[in-house]
Amino acid sequence: MKKSILTITLLTIGLSTFAQLPFTFDIGLKGGINSNQISTDNNTINGISYTNFTSAVKSGFNIGAFARLGGKKLYFQPELLYCQKNSQSTSGSPTSLTQTVKLKTIQIPMLVGYKLINLKVASIRAFTGPAMSFAMSGSNVKSNLNNLALNNLKNNIWDWQLGAGIDILKFTFDVRYEWGLSNISDSNPGNIGFVNKGKGFTISLGFKFI
């Protein structure tokens, strides 16, 4: 609830600021690849303690649309993306446990950016902002142990994004880093599982058709 209020407040302030600036408006499509890694907290399940998790980097992808509105320098960029993220963590103690996470989400980044260099045919940008994700059917958390059924994936996830981009004519290229503000899964009395939090890089290419 607090994160939702903060996001709405930032959005209101941003829109009121952009209303005072020379107005520009773009709509486009984009897609990209991502690499993700999760951190996993130690936990005791069925009387067995699992510790010393190590994380492996796994790849995924995203595709969707974006809008950009603002002035000559400052802009606001909301996005609507379908994202697939994969990750894996392994505990070597007391027995080998490998946990895999597959996330299929609708993600809504809400980014505020600034054009560091703004020319007629090209610009260089920096941006940051929160991203809200909703887990879809097909998302899951699994393990290599037949007797360990994990069922603790959260329905909504919050991240923060920070990145930079280049625009050349109608094409836009972004590189961004994302880290978790909330867990992607939790251990609680109603579920069996581990506390996991994600982070990762995304590279994307877009085209502005308006």
Torsion from C-alpha of 148, 58, 41, 135, nearest 10 degrees: -70
Which of 96-100, 125-129, 195-199 has the highest mean predicted lDDT (pLDDT)? 125-129
Contact criterion met (CB below 8 Å) for 195 and 187: yes
- Res 95: pLDDT: 67
- Res 94: pLDDT: 64
The CA–CA distances, whole Å, from 203 to 60, 139, 147 equal 11, 22, 38
pLDDT tens digit sequence for 140-191: 888 888 767 787 888 899 999 999 999 999 999 999 999 999 999 888 767 7
- Res 49: pLDDT: 86
- This prediction has a pTM of 0.85
Is residue 2 very low, low, confident or very high in pLDDT (cuts 50, 70, 90)?
Answer: low
pLDDT tens digit sequence for 12-61: 555 555 445 557 889 999 999 999 999 999 888 888 888 889 999 999 99
How many of the other CB atoms lie within 10 Å of CB of 94? 10
3-state secondary structure of 150: coil
**Domain CATH code at residue 98:** 2.40.160.20
pLDDT of 7 above 70: no
| Mean predicted lDDT score pLDDT of the chain | 88
Is residue 65 very low, low, confident or very high in pLDDT (cuts 50, 70, 90)?
Answer: very high
DSSP 194: -
The CA–CA distances, whole Å, from 121 to 130, 169, 191 equal 29, 5, 53
User: What does the alpha-carbon distance between residue 199 and residue 156 come to, in Å, rounded to a whole number?
Assistant: 15
DSSP per residue, 37-72: EEEE--EEETTEEEEEEEEE-EEEEEEEEEEEEE-S
Q: Which domain holds residue 126?
A: 2-208
H or E stretch including 2?
helix 2-18
* Domain tally, the chain: 1
